[in-house]
Chain A
Amino acid sequence: MTTLLDTLAFNDEGYLLNWQQWNEQVAYEIAAEEGIELTDRHWIVIHFARKIYAENGDAPTLRQITKQTDVSTKEMYTLFPDGPAKKAAMIAGLPKPTGCI
């Protein structure tokens, strides 16, 4: 069975290679593979991450997300367990964030 993700290219760590091939369905499918069911709160983070990437060419740091959206640090760890900034970028179809905070 061929899924949408089978038609796209990813790196070894599971990040989409071309962020412009992303759409919401891609996000749903990556999230499902990562065991995350997307809610409105996830979408706030995902759309913010893509906006920042379009502006800076780097996925936002966790601190940027928590300072510039109404999603708190605690909530980020609930929404995206096991590495919130990385998982948010992954589902948003972006490369891993490089910031340290």
Chain B
Amino acid sequence: MTDTTFASEPVQLGRRKKAEPKKQRKLAIICSKGSLDMAYPPLILANAARMSGIEAHLFFTFWGMDVITKSKMEHLHVATVGNPNMHPSFHIPTLVGVLPGMSLMASEMMRREIARLDFPPVPEFLELLHDAGAHIYACQMAMDMMKLKPEDLVPYAEVLGAMEFLEIADEAQILFV
């Protein structure tokens, strides 16, 4: 039954609808990159998902392992050579980029920008995601390849294989970064 009394009212007086999500959404992200610039997008997306009440599952593999490896996660770098995204605010010509210290300088610049936008450094960001209920997984094969042990990783990383991850990601929207 429609209520004709208010049919022409522009605002919805007395019709507050409960903000119910249509269905339980689920996001699964495969994180394969370990450079500073490529580490952030999956973390930001997963956090946005959690803040919106969407399940988030992050599977770290290959170079992405650096993001959850305790000895590496604080020291991720931006490549200044062979990185076509080095412009405009970070513009460093490739021939200059090969000089010693250039990647370090670019990484520091980016770290400052990230902090200015109030995004936390990588270790704190992972902690935040864990607290927000996002799931962090480490790829078994990548660990074997890089001779990593579970104790080398953040403590809440769960080690599993690609097939297991796909089972977890059943019915999720899957992204590869």
- Given contacts A73-B128, A73-B132, A77-B132, whether A14 and B11 have CB atoms under 8 Å apart is no
- Given contacts A13-B19, A73-B132, A77-B131, whether A2 and B14 have CB atoms under 8 Å apart is yes
Whether the Cβ atoms of A83 and B16 lie closer than 8 Å is no
Q: How would residues 121 to 132 of chain B score, 1 for a CB under 8 Å from any chain A CB and 0 otherwise?
A: 000000010011
Total cross-chain contacts (CB, 8 A): 68
Whether the Cβ atoms of A90 and B133 lie closer than 8 Å is no
Q: Which residues of B contact A33 (CB under 8 A)?
A: 16, 18
Q: Which residues of B contact A14 (CB under 8 A)?
A: 16-19
- Given contacts A85-B51, A86-B52, A90-B19, whether A9 and B13 have CB atoms under 8 Å apart is yes
Interface residues of A, count at CB 8 A: 33
Whether the Cβ atoms of B19 and A77 lie closer than 8 Å is no
- Given contacts A73-B131, A101-B44, A101-B118, whether A83 and B53 have CB atoms under 8 Å apart is yes
Interface size range on B against A = 20 to 34
Whether the Cβ atoms of B16 and A84 lie closer than 8 Å is no
CA distance A90 to B133 in the complex (A): 22
Q: How would residues 69 to 100 of chain B score, 1 for a CB under 8 Å from any chain A CB and 0 otherwise?
A: 00000000000000000000000000000000
Is A47 part of the contact surface with B, judged by Cβ < 8 Å? no
- Given contacts A85-B51, A86-B52, whether A74 and B11 have CB atoms under 8 Å apart is no
Whether the Cβ atoms of A100 and B16 lie closer than 8 Å is no
Q: How would residues 79 to 101 of chain A score, 1 for a CB under 8 Å from any chain B CB and 0 otherwise?
A: 00111111100100000000011
The A34-85 residues at the B interface (CB cut-off 8 A) are 34, 61-64, 72-74, 77, 81-85
